[in-house]
Amino acid sequence: MEQTKRKIIIDCDPGHDDAIAILLAAGSPNIDLRAITTVAGNAEVEKTAINALKVCEIAGLKDIPVARGAAGPLTRKRETAPSIHGESGMEGPSLPIPRQTLVKDHAVDVIIEELLSSKGDITLVPVGPLTNIALAMRKEPLIIPKIKEIVLMGGGMSGNWTPAAEFNIFVDPEAANIVFESGVPITMAGLELTHQAVTTPEIIEQIQAISNPVSEFVVELLQYFSKTYKDEFGFSGAPIHDACAVAYCIDPTVFTTKKLRVDIETKGEFTSGMTVIDINGVTGREPNVNVAMELDKEKFWNMLINALKHYSQAI
DSSP state of 254: G
Which residues have C-beta within 8 Å of that of residue 200, sequence separation ≥ 6?
A: 236, 237
Q: Catalytic residue numbers?
A: 241
| Residue ranges of E strands in the chain | 6-12, 31-38, 66-68, 122-126, 147-153, 186-189, 255-260, 262-264, 275-277, 289-295
In 10 A of CB 96, how many CB atoms? 12
**Closest listed residue to residue 19, CA positions, set 203, 274, 238, 292:** 238
How far apart are the C-alpha atoms of 137 and 70, rounded to whole Å? Answer: 14
φ, ψ at 25 (rounded to 5°): -65, -50
In 10 A of CB 107, how many CB atoms? 29
Spatial contact of 114 and 35, defined as CB atoms under 8 Å apart: yes
